[in-house]
């Protein structure tokens, strides 16, 4: 395992206890990626077939990586828990994908996309990775169009764009309100092409339970066949985790029900550092919670904020009135008031906090006063209902199905909800974690979005990592490895498999009297309350005390019905919730340790007129946590962020 | 603005089946005090939680995104795939579509090509095999031309998108009296075949996907159009016409050796 320390060039006296990111240091930022590719190792096409690459997850990052590595000649095994790779949760992304194409001739460039992303991330992302992301963005669009992704087009037949939060250009490519599905179908098609030729072996309904580390290198995984219950191991020369984020630690989130932290958490327990877990994104435009039975929250695309205006009544006593009866002068268009230059397109963290602020002030609308209006009346007057239907028809329908309300006739009610997690496993410039051979892509890593992600950047990152970055950087690791060194018969494999079996047996034998879901809900409520949109030192300390108690309760009193050798959804969920109960503690520990506000991490103690008050002198580092046997006593390593090009500034959207 | 909240007492007749080769039966479950703003799957969550606390085996059903896009959920409700509302998946169906005292029959997709795994969950790998046979445009990553170098008429792009909206849930098969997969296969073909990028391989793709579809044990189309009626994404049977035309032309060219 790598563990070197180095001085931070731009923070005198500060020492990073993570290794350097590995990007070239002898060239300016804008030339790093080109130089790195030129200096990277290569593997002869005839030798690539001898290497087996294990890809866990089949969303944008996983499917793109599996397909591309297979095209290059590697032997690929790809795993997903869904019954088809097409169902990975990237499918649900609505709004779009950013790229610095500058098709609108409105002043966009690679540099501007890079800068917007760094600023949007509140100066807590790594410059080298983000610049590369902006560079690669243009190729992604080319690739997707060639695959047949049916992006929206102008009448002349060329690609259309729209604008998204946190930017002042139109650089977002989209396919109505289902850009994620169309991009995933593209990557899925590429994957199918390789499966058909027998070059990728696909394992669906298969869940990763552990990572196998041999001599300090990631060499395999333990999986469970979710239909038969069979636990087995797979050996490979490198492991790629493309397993998404951990938003479901909050129980209620916009994630799919199956999304979980197990793969990354298990890798963490095997030595991989978990970086910045407290950077979680609360999306401002979701449908409000309607009751205790609620199982998930539904997002309404941020693109709605292009035409919808957020408001609440100016006076508390107007909150219960029908919105149409509240005259213009009694409405508070709070985003336009507070952020006149970005208005309704303020970035997500800012728009979410602003909504919470209005509701905390007693001016929220709908059940429990936990909602604000998103009103399309002006846009309908300006453009016609038909035009709005053309732009957002499916979103309006979705809203009506869930709430029973027609948003063409009355404003939508929205409230923030957990949507995306910027934190993830620590990776270097090659996307390799501190465990050699273990690479982490997409939402599962920490690298590109800092403390807040801008809209339409998740799809960009997943595909950048999968199509263009890992295929260029993986050989840097593989070239030093003799292919096929280990088989799944080795002692490390046998031991990891046995420990997964033992854990399953243990879960099934507790036979208590509470359902898995009841523990998950309790954990989620606690974390939403103490580590959600606003966090305090005391609240976090309380959560840090309560989570271990809840975990203990779980292991004493959970009831997991059925057996291990059958299709058992409660057992699957129990394993995932057990991991959330450990991970949640690290999340709160990170939030407690980061004694500043930045991006999605808002500490009530650190604010200036309601805005996040960053502390660059003391906290402009990546927190990389090392597992020590107890999540509450994890060891903190710091990677100080050295900015060459961007200068720290107060992030203002006013 | 208050959201109406009333609750329902329901009788559920749910298909229970321990495995693909086991016999199945309808079991009766009472669902009490279900809020009408809950989704259909949340209603089943409530029922399952009750079953678990009483020491029973919960009802197995496939679900994931719960927002109508992943295509995982798959239930026939009162004889209708995804239930009584048009253009929605089971997870988007809300209990306000039912009345207090209703009896609701819940079954899995029924088709030879979709064997039951357990209770309401079925194996849809036949769909995977159809797509693997040709559901792609062969382009190697890195070799793509500049995205705007090929203009695509907006109408073609929109028609391709409308077909590509298919979420691969299988409701079309479950709705069809012949358990035909023609709407699914046609939607996948139209997505690619309507775009200029998809033209070079259109014949090969059409022949491969249609033949694989036939091999999987799906029935044939006899123009009932139940598929279109129950498709949660409202895919049009027009795609089947396009597929038939493309298949006829491709096989004629194949026979003629051109």
Nearest chain A residue to B90 by CA: give it: A401
Please write the tens of the pLDDT for every residue from B61-111.
999 999 999 999 999 999 999 999 999 999 999 999 999 999 999 999 999
Please write the tens of the pLDDT for every residue from A423-467.
999 999 999 999 999 999 999 999 999 999 998 999 999 999 999
Catalytic (active site) residue A348: yes
Residue B2 inside a domain? The answer is no
Q: Which is the catalytic residue, given A348, A363, A521, A594?
A: A348
Same domain, B32 and B136: no
Same domain, B111 and B163: no
Contacts (Cβ under 8 Å, ≥6 apart) of A325: none
Same domain, B233 and B216: yes
Residue B139 inside a domain? The answer is yes
Please write the tens of the pLDDT for every residue from A207-252.
999 999 999 999 999 999 999 999 999 999 999 999 999 999 999 9
Same domain, B22 and B91: yes
CA distance, residue B222 to nearest chain A CA (Å): 29
Residue owning tokens 């309607």: A290
Same domain, B133 and B251: yes
Residue B17 inside a domain? The answer is yes
For B80, the enclosing helix (H) or strand (E) is: strand B80-81
What mean pLDDT is predicted for residues A399-425?
95
Check: CB of residue A417 under 8 Å from CB of residue A253: yes
Domain boundary among B117, B134, B164: B117
Q: Return d(Cα A606, Cα A535) in angstroms, integer.
A: 10
* Three-class DSSP category at A239: strand
In B133-172, the residues whose Cβ lies within 8 Å of chain A are: 133-148, 150-154, 157-158, 160-161, 164-165, 167-168
Residue B109 inside a domain? The answer is yes
pLDDT at B1 over 90: no
Same domain, B177 and B218: yes
For A380, the enclosing helix (H) or strand (E) is: helix A377-383
Residue owning tokens 């009750």: B50
Both tokens of residue A296? 């998930």
Both tokens of residue A514? 């509470």
Same domain, B128 and B252: yes
Q: What is the CATH number of the domain that holds B15?
A: 3.10.20.30
Burial of A390 (0-12, 13-18, 19+ CB in 10 A): exposed
Both tokens of residue A231? 């636990």
Contacts (Cβ under 8 Å, ≥6 apart) of A553: A514, A519
Q: What is the CATH number of the domain that holds B232?
A: 1.10.1060.10
Residue A4 has what pLDDT?
66
Task: Let me know how long chain B is.
Answer: 258
pTM for the predicted model, two decimal places:
0.96
Q: Give CA separation, A634 vs A4, A275, A290, A530, in Å.
A: 18, 12, 37, 20
Chain-centroid distance, C-alpha A562: 33
Strands B76-77 and B80-81: antiparallel
Enter the DSSP assignment of A467: I
Same domain, B99 and B156: no
Same domain, B94 and B169: no
* Three-class DSSP category at A486: coil
Check: CB of residue A602 under 8 Å from CB of residue A542: no
pLDDT at B53 over 50: yes
Beta strands of A354-421 (E only): which ranges? Answer: 372-375, 412-421
pLDDT band at B258 (very low <50, low <70, confident <90, very high): confident
| B3 shares contact with chain A (CB less than 8 Å) | yes
Same domain, B196 and B235: yes
Both tokens of residue A614? 């960053």
Domains detected in chain A: 284-418 (3.90.700.10), 493-628 (1.20.58.100)
Q: Give CA separation, A441 vs A19, A239, A451, in Å.
A: 19, 11, 18
Q: Return d(Cα A276, Cα A625) in angstroms, integer.
A: 8
Same domain, B104 and B156: no
Tell me how crowded residue A71 is: count the other CB atoms within 10 A of its CB: 22
What mean pLDDT is predicted for residues A60-87?
98
Residue B245 inside a domain? The answer is yes
Domain count, chain B: 2
Check: CB of residue A460 under 8 Å from CB of residue A452: no
Please write the tens of the pLDDT for every residue from A347-404.
888 899 999 999 999 999 998 899 999 999 999 999 999 999 988 888 898 899 899 9
Domain boundary among B99, B117, B135: B117
Q: Within 13 A of A638's CA, how many CA atoms are on the CB side?
A: 16
Check: CB of residue B68 under 8 Å from CB of residue A402: no
Residue of A63, A69, A257, A471 to mutate, testing the B interface (most B Cβ within 10 Å of its Cβ): A257
What's the mean pLDDT when you consider all of chain A?
95
In A247-306, the residues whose Cβ lies within 8 Å of chain B are: 254, 256-258, 290-291, 293-296, 298-299
What mean pLDDT is predicted for residues B1-24?
86
Both tokens of residue A234? 């797979």
- ipTM over 0.95 threshold: yes
Q: How far apart are the first and last CA of chain A?
A: 46
In A514-533, the residues whose Cβ lies within 8 Å of chain B are: 514-515, 517-518
Which domain does B187 fall in, by range? 124-143+150-256
Tell if the CB–CB gap between B137 and A148 is shorter than 8 Å. Answer: yes
Burial of A14 (0-12, 13-18, 19+ CB in 10 A): middle
Residue B127 has what pLDDT?
98
Residue B94 inside a domain? The answer is yes
CA distance, residue A407 to nearest chain B CA (Å): 14
Please write the tens of the pLDDT for every residue from A480-498.
999 999 999 999 999 999 9
pLDDT band at A290 (very low <50, low <70, confident <90, very high): confident
Residue A654 has what pLDDT?
80
CA distance, residue B2 to nearest chain A CA (Å): 6
Q: Return d(Cα A118, Cα A452) in angstroms, integer.
A: 9
Residue A34 has what pLDDT?
98
Check: CB of residue A594 under 8 Å from CB of residue A601: yes
Residue A26 has what pLDDT?
95
Q: What percent of chain A has pLDDT over 70?
A: 99
Give the closest residue to A80 by CA, choosing from A183, A198, A252, A195: A195
Residue B80 inside a domain? The answer is yes
Residue A409 has what pLDDT?
96
Same domain, B26 and B50: yes
Residue B1 inside a domain? The answer is no
């Amino acid at each position: 395992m790598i563990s070197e320390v180095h001085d931070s060039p731009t923070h005198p006296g500060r020492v990073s206890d993570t290794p350097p990111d590995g990007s070239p240091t002898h060239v300016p930022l804008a030339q790093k990626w080109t130089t790195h590719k030129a200096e990277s190792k290569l593997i002869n096409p005839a030798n690539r077939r001898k290497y087996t690459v294990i890809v866990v997850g089949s969303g944008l990052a996983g499917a793109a990586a599996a397909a591309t590595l297979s095209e290059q000649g590697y032997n690929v095994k790809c795993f997903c828990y869904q019954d088809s790779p097409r169902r990975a949760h990237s499918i649900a992304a609505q709004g779009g994908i950013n790229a610095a194409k500058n098709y609108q001739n409105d002043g966009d460039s690679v540099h501007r996309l890079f800068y917007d992303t760094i600023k949007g991330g509140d100066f807590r992302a790594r410059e080298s990775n983000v610049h590369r992301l902006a560079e690669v963005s243009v190729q992604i669009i080319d690739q997707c169009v060639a695959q047949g992704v049916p992006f929206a087009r102008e009448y002349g037949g060329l690609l259309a764009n729209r604008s998204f939060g946190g930017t002042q250009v139109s650089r977002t490519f989209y396919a109505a309100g289902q850009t994620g599905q169309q991009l995933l179908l593209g990557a899925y098609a590429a994957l199918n092409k390789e499966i058909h030729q027998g070059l990728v072996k696909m394992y669906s309904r298969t869940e990763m339970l552990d990572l196998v580390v041999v001599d300090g290198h990631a060499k395999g995984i333990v999986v469970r066949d979710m239909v038969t219950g069979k636990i087995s191991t797979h050996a490979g020369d490198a492991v790629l985790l493309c397993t998404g984020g951990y938003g479901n630690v909050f129980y209620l989130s916009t994630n799919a029900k199956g999304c979980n932290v197990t793969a990354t958490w298990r890798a963490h327990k095997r030595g991989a550092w978990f970086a910045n877990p407290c950077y979680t994104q609360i999306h401002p435009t979701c449908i409000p919670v309607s009751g205790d039975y609620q199982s998930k929250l539904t997002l309404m695309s941020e693109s709605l904020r292009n035409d919808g205006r957020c408001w609440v009544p100016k006076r508390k006593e107007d909150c219960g009135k029908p919105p149409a009866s509240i005259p213009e002068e009694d409405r508070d268009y709070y985003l336009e008031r507070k952020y006149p230059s970005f208005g309704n397109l303020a970035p997500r963290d800012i728009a979410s906090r602003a909504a919470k602020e209005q509701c905390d002030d007693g001016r929220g609308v709908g059940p429990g006063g936990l909602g604000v209006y998103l009103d399309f009346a002006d846009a309908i007057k300006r453009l016609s209902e038909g035009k709005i239907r053309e732009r957002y028809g499916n979103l309006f329908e979705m809203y009506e199905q869930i709430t029973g309300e027609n948003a063409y006739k009355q404003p939508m009610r929205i409230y923030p909800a957990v949507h995306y997690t910027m934190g993830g496993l620590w990776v270097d410039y090659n996307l390799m974690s501190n465990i050699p051979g273990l690479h982490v892509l997409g939402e599962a890593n920490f690298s590109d979005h800092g403390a807040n992600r801008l809209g339409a950047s998740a799809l960009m990152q997943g595909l950048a990592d999968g199509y263009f970055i890992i295929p260029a950087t993986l050989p840097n690791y593989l070239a030093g490895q003799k292919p096929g060194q280990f088989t799944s018969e080795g002692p490390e494999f046998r031991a990891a498999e046995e420990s997964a079996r033992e854990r399953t047996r243990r879960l099934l034998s507790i036979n208590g009297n509470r359902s898995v879901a009841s523990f998950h809900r309790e954990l989620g409520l606690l974390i939403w309350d103490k580590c959600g949109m606003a966090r305090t030192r005391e609240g976090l300390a309380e959560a840090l005390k309560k989570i271990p108690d809840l975990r203990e309760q779980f292991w004493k009193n959970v009831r997991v019905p059925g057996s291990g050798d059958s299709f058992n959804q409660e057992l699957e969920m129990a394993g995932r919730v057990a991991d959330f109960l450990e991970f949640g503690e690290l999340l709160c520990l990170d939030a407690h340790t980061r004694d500043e506000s930045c991006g999605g991490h808002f500490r009530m103690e650190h604010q200036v007129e309601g805005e996040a008050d960053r502390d660059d002198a003391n906290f402009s580092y990546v927190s990389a946590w090392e597992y020590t046997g107890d999540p509450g006593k994890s060891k903190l390593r710091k990677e100080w962020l050295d900015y060459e090009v961007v200068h720290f500034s107060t992030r203002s959207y006013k | 603005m208050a959201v109406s909240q009333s609750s329902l007492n329901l009788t559920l007749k749910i298909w229970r089946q321990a495995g693909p080769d086991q016999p199945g039966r309808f079991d009766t479950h009472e669902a009490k005090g279900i809020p009408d703003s809950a989704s259909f799957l949340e209603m089943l969550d409530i029922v399952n939680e009750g079953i678990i606390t009483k020491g029973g085996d919960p009802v197995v059903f496939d679900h994931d995104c719960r927002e109508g896009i992943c295509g995982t959920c798959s239930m026939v409700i009162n004889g209708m795939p995804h239930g009584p509302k048009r253009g929605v998946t089971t997870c988007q169906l809300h209990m306000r579509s039912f009345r207090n005292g209703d009896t609701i029959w819940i079954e899995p997709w029924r088709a030879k090509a979709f064997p039951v795994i357990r209770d309401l969950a079925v194996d849809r790998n036949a769909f995977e095999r159809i797509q693997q046979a040709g559901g792609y445009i062969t382009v190697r990553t890195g070799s793509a031309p500049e995205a705007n170098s090929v203009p695509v008429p907006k109408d073609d792009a929109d028609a391709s998108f409308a077909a590509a909206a298919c979420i691969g849930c299988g409701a079309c098969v479950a709705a069809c009296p012949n358990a035909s997969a023609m709407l699914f296969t046609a939607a996948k073909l139209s997505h690619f075949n309507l775009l200029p990028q998809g033209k070079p391989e259109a014949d090969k793709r059409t022949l491969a996907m249609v033949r694989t579809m036939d091999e999987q044990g799906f029935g044939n189309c006899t123009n009932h159009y139940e598929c279109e009626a129950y498709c949660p994404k409202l895919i049009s049977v027009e795609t089947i016409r396009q597929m038939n035309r493309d298949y006829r032309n491709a096989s004629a060219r194949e026979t003629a050796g051109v």
